[in-house]
Amino acid sequence: MAAAAALGPGPLRVGFVGAGRMAEAIAQGFIRAGKVEAQHIVASAPSDRNLCHFQALGCQTTHSNQEVLQSCLLVFFATKPYVLPAVLAEVASVVTTEHILVSVAAGVSLSTLEELLPPTTRVLRVSPNLPCLVQEGSVVMARGRHAGSSEAKLLQTLLEACGQCEEVPEAHMDIHTGLSGSGVAFVCTFSEALAEGAIKMGMPSGLAHRIVAQTLLGTAKMLQQKEQHPAQLRTDVCTPGGTTIYGLHALEQGGLRAATMSAVEAATCRARELSKK
């Protein structure tokens, strides 16, 4: 990996400060895609509760956050947002100009991160979502003042192991949280409703949920591979006087479109509120 040359000779070593589900998902993606060897990943956490998942992957673990930075030059901070300032204060003394630090903590701005770290530290933010657990996530990233194109390229190349990864302006991070982070729950709610409609009409529950999951998966793949606007695919399914137009009419009467837009807006506004706090 050419971009990794900036981190010095030898194999790429990646650290995780915080060992929760998202950190595990990212590490698992790196390992499965062959981006980083498990033995070259180091994770830290206060207790063994989450570290056992990293150990099962074959990674190294420790209770010392400083040890992670002393072992790795690329480090992901995957702590709770309210914990992150204290963690950064703890490790600041061992941060060097060679480190690339990546925050996964929602709502903590790049300017705040840079204020808490030594001057000229290369900092980036990423916003992943839960499907990273199955390497089908949506991830956006933004770079700080001292992170250049080589750091962004390295991070994007790595995170593509977890799904789709795009660089965006930092202002889009909270929107991504409302759209894709919270959107997982919105899609699951719609999935439940679709299955319950079939159950109401007499289909067994397990069968209905399996068919819905496959329908969502297939539709998503068509939208990705054909690069069509959703309206075009909807039109392809909708024949005059057929079943789909009757169903769409019912959805419009129920206000699905407006309710969905309002849900993304509400989740985004809440993300922005939390960022300010």
Q: What residue ranges in 80-148 does DSSP mark as E strands?
A: 100-103, 122-127, 137-143
End-to-end CA distance of the chain: 38
pLDDT bucket at 107, cuts 50 / 70 / 90? confident
Can you tell me which residue has the tokens 């309206």? 231
- Inside any domain, residue 174: no
Average pLDDT (241-254) is 96
277 marked ligand binding residue: no
Q: Is the dihedral of CA 101, 102, 106, 112 positive or negative?
A: positive
- The reply, when asked if residue 147 is annotated as ligand binding, is no
Please give the backbone phi and psi of residue 263, each rounded to the nearest 5 degrees, phi first.
-65, -45
Residue 176 counted as domain residue:
no
Residues 94, 70 within the same domain? yes
Q: Quick one: pLDDT at residue 106? A: 87
Do 159 and 232 lie in one domain? The reply is no
C-alpha–C-alpha distance, residues 102 and 125, integer Å: 6
pLDDT tens, residue by residue, 7-21: 666 789 999 999 999
Average confidence (pLDDT) over 213-234: 93
pLDDT of res. 3? 44
CA pair distance 30, 35, nearest whole angstrom: 5
> 35 and 92: one domain?
yes
pLDDT in tens, 169-201: 999 999 999 999 999 999 999 999 999 999 999
The answer to whether residues 123 and 222 belong to one domain is: no
Question: Across residues 55-75, what is the average pLDDT?
Answer: 96
Q: How many domains does the chain have?
A: 2
Expressed as residue numbers, the domain containing 262 is 181-276
Residues 9 and 124 in one domain: yes
User: Over the chain, what is the mean pLDDT?
Assistant: 93
| Average pLDDT estimate for 208-228 | 94
Is 240 assigned a ligand-binding role in the annotation?
no
Q: Is 50 annotated as a binding residue?
A: no
Q: Is 78 labelled as part of a ligand binding site?
A: yes
